[in-house]
Amino acid sequence: MNLQSWPQRVLVVDVEGNGTNPPDLVEIAALPVRGGQPDTSTAGAWLIRPQRPVTARAAGIHGLTNALLADKPAWAELADQVHDFLGRDWICAHNAHVDYRELSRHLPKWEPAGVIDTLRLAKATYTALPSYTLDALIKHVRPDLSDAPRVGRHRATFDAYATAQLLLAMADRYESREQLITAAVPPSLPGAPEPETEPTLW
């Protein structure tokens, strides 16, 4: 299906953390999909100074060091802005349980209309792949990343762009919005279809 027919805005999101458990957020990206394309001109992106230091392991993955984040706003300064940007739209993420959980933990009054998980969608769409990581799907699908932010893999803005392109590629394989939702929305997350129940006499 063409996402142009989706009745609400879809925001492809990605979050990066400081490596603690639970994590402090250090980067959020929210990329609208408009007209069947990622719209980088209206995307939201935030770098955040965490309350606790970024671990060496996390910094080695996404490159966001304590020095780089030292002059960035704290979460309390950004929470309302991020909440307003996300609104009540649908969100999409790869392994969406993680992004939804962390955004919900940091924004307790926020609730999206629905949550599309490209990991779940990929497992339904490409049934025989040995791996469904974002890197593996990029290699398999070969989406156009020529206009992706020049920040590299594991940064939120790049990962959101890659996820958006994967979503668009997979959505084309489904005939209807209902089919896509069934394949892509985890049962426990907002937007999931109601489970079918057996008819009863009363």
Domain ranges within the chain, ordered by starting residue: 3-184
Give me the mean pLDDT over the 140-149 stretch. Answer: 95
pLDDT-derived band at 8, boundaries 50, 70, 90: confident
Q: What angle do CA 81, 61, 156 make, to 5 degrees?
A: 30
CATH hierarchy code of domain 3-184? 3.30.420.10
Tell whether pTM > 0.85. Answer: yes
Please give the pLDDT value at position 149.
93
Closest CA to 14 of 50, 46, 53: 46
Could you count the other beta carbons within 10 Å of the beta carbon of residue 142?
Answer: 10
Give me the chain's average pLDDT, please.
94
Q: 180 near 52, Cβ under 8 Å?
A: no
- Fill in the DSSP letter of residue 89: -
Tell me which of 15-29, 47-61, 79-93, 144-158 is least confident: 144-158
Q: Which residues contact 123 (CB under 8 A, 6 or more apart)?
A: 132
* In the predicted structure, residue 202 carries a pLDDT above the cut 70: no
pLDDT-derived band at 180, boundaries 50, 70, 90: very high
**Phi-psi domain of 19 (left: phi exceeds 0; alpha: psi -120 through 50; beta: other):** left
pLDDT-derived band at 80, boundaries 50, 70, 90: very high
Give me the mean pLDDT over the 60-85 stretch. Answer: 98
